[in-house]
Structure 1
Amino acid sequence: MRLEHDEALLRQDIEERKVREALHAALAQYWRIQQCAEDSHDADLKCGLRGAFEINVPEAELGPASMQIFQGEDIGVAQRRREQMKQTERNLLAQIVQKERRCMENKHREILQEKELLQQDLLWRHKLDAEQEDKKAVRVALDHYNQALAVEQAERLKESHRREERENLAEKWNTLTSAMMTEGWDAAVKQLQEGKPAATDRWRGMSPDQLSAIHKEREAQCVERQRWHDLEKKRDAAWNSRLVEESREAQQEEKRTSELRRAKRIQDHQFNMQLAKEQQAHQEYLDKEVYTNKPTQDFFSQFNTTSR
């Protein structure tokens, strides 16, 4: 940032110098064209009567009042003009020095202003960074606080659910173990002893002996059912054993049948081989012993030699 500001100041200084040079050149040209010494009212005095108008009237007719220059008048004019030129140069130098001093002061003032602006920018940046850090810290603290509140609320909801579940479980257990559900004989006997009618919503008129008989009957039925179940299992086991035995016998029978078929195939093969050998031997006997005198072509050509 400091380098960028320095470059900007240099560019501004160069542009201002160019503008000043252009203004000086334009002012000098204006002086040279529009403010010449020959065009002034006293050009006849400053320029050696070069700009004075000519008088065609003789001096004798005009008189002494018309005279402009007298002999012996203004003897130190050259020295005075030199002093005036030196004073003019000193004034110009003083003006130039004052102008340069004023430019330097302006430049120094601008540099100070830019430094002050830069310092203000830095202070504003630090302040903004501090505000951002404060906001960030506030957001982080708020996030932590919200997270803590969320965790606390979640724990509170969990505890509420657990308490509700415990209460519901306790209510269910109390309902299941109450006299209304168990139909206890004690509650009915107690009410009967107190002279009150038995509560039909808590007891249905069965005594402990009756309940015991029902339980014994149920146990007997369970024993009978288990006996029938065991008998069924034995019957299934015997049937499965018989099926396994029959399957084994069927496999053995199939094995014997396959062995018989194999032996039959071997026997047929041997018989066919024996027949083949006998046929081959008979053919060789015919070829070598019986059909030894084979007829020639002459034997066949003697038949059907004449027409009928």
Structure 2
Amino acid sequence: MFRLDLPVDETAMKALQRRRSAEAARQKRIFNTRNRVMGLDLQTLERQMAERRERVEIEKQRDVAHDALRVCADEMLMRQQREEEERRRDLARDLVEYRATQQRAGDSRDADLNCNRQGAPGVNALAPESFGPASMQVFQGEGVGEVERRSVQMEVNERTLRAQKEERDRQKEEQKHRELLRGREVLQQDLRAVQLDVLETECRRAASIALKSYNQAQAEEKLERERQDRMRREGEGLAEIQHMVTSDLLTECPEAAERAPRVLPDRWKGMSPSQLSAIYRQREEQRAERERLTQLEKQREKAWGLLQLQQARQQVEEESSVRLMEKERRAQLDCYNQQLAREQQARQQYLRNEIYTNRPTARYFTQFSTSSR
């Protein structure tokens, strides 16, 4: 048997009701004549602007946070790199010290074989009768040769301590040397700064002295120029006085009228016959020249009038030909327009009689704008 008392799934009902409410609100907003005709949805626009401003602000804050995070990451990476470099230098220094103190060629077990050295710890120090046929009765760490090993170990430790002390002393000497060099460098910088100050002071003093000398030279030159101008004006005044005293105006010299390039009214007695004949001859030449120029101007105006008349006739002929061509073109255009009108009229008749025969009813238009989608 099927169970009929199952609980109703309210999720689907709530989703359906939510969609219906959204559809009703959308229809109310879209089919509102006031909002559709008079303007925009200001509330929606303001909400969109507020959301946009909030989004821009959030993006700015995110960019600032990302920048700070990048700066922190860069600083951390640089610090890690410095620590890694320092760690590598320490490891390299420790490795060098270990090799110098713990891996000496003279401390190896086969130093007497490879380097022809004596005194290396080994099986030679033991009694030959203590070994058997296999020659493997003595191993490292057992009590055989303990005294020799201890003495060798003490010597190795002593060398190690001596090397460490020497290294520490060397580092102290290097530190003192670096501090001494740094002090010398600071002292040199101070001396250089003092020298630069002294040089700058000397340069300023030299510049002031040079400027003072230049100003003094300019003043002396100005005084000398004024003195020369004063002497020139005095000389010109004296020359003018001398000229007035010895000129022909005061002495009334009769030869002045002949030497003068212009007529002197107080000494002129009239023109001579030669001067009058020259004037008459020049006047006749000017009259003949003027008559010749007048004839030439008349001939030029006559030729120009003939040229203008010829150009006017040619222009009239061209205008008449253009009017004829325009008349023919308009006649062709009228024929073409009449043909297009007949074709358009036939097309309209075909559409009305053959195509547009099924007219839509009022029910056809009522099926639109019933949903917001």
TMscore range, shorter length:
0.3 to 0.5
Question: What TM-score do the two structures reach when normalised by structure 1?
Answer: 0.39
Structure with higher Rg: it is 1
Question: What TM-score do the two structures reach when normalised by structure 2?
Answer: 0.33
Q: Which has the higher contact order (CA 8 A, sep 6+)?
A: 2
